[in-house]
Amino acid sequence: MGPLNNEPVAEKTERHVRDALERGARLVAGGRRSELGALFYEPTVLDGVTDEMEVAREETFGPVAPVTAIASEEEAIRIVDSSPYGLLAAVFTRDLGRGLRFAEAVRTGWVNVNEGTNYWESHLPFGGRAGSRSGVGRVGGRFSLERLTELKTIVVDLG
């Protein structure tokens, strides 16, 4: 694991882990800054995470994996769709049809089936769903070219 982006991200990571533990989550691994330095945080797994915990509602941007037991496909879709973000979702399943149903149903800009959320291909468009708090527009593929290119028409009459 590399360092976190800056001290505010390190503090947010600590706050999310502390809040989850105070509200009843179980620490499976990690849970503190590493002896490597102030911006290094141990890879952390929290089990028993619930909706009222900050780590379940906000983006941590630290090496924290919050684990929540979900009873049904419908509940999983409800949880994803209730998020104000909507950039990326992932589902792991042995049933490809079920994974594709989930992918079609959730309101996110990208869904990975049997792949983690850190999987990304720069040639494919990436961005949040419309109306989400995950930025504006898309990046990747033709969207990067369009964003970085200013079109101009020039007409020359030689006669």
Residue ending a domain, among 14, 34, 69, is: 69
Q: Let me know whether 53 and 65 are in one domain.
A: yes
Q: How far, in Å, CA of 53 to CA of 20, rounded? A: 5
Domain match, 99 and 60 both:
no
Q: In residues, how long is the chain?
A: 159
Q: Which residue has the tokens 């915990």?
A: 53
59 and 9 together in one domain: yes
Q: Side chain identity at 14, as an amino acid letter?
A: E
Residue numbers of the domain that contains 13: 1-69
Q: Is residue 55 located within the same domain as residue 116?
A: no
pLDDT digits (tens, 9 = 90+) for 47-86: 999 999 999 988 899 999 999 999 999 999 999 998 887 7
Q: Tens of pLDDT along 111-155? A: 889 988 776 665 565 565 555 555 555 555 666 666 667 766 667
76 and 65, same domain (yes or no)? no
- The helix (run of H) or strand (run of E) holding residue 45 is strand 44-47
- Beta strand extents in 54-117 (DSSP E only): 64-67, 88-91, 110-113
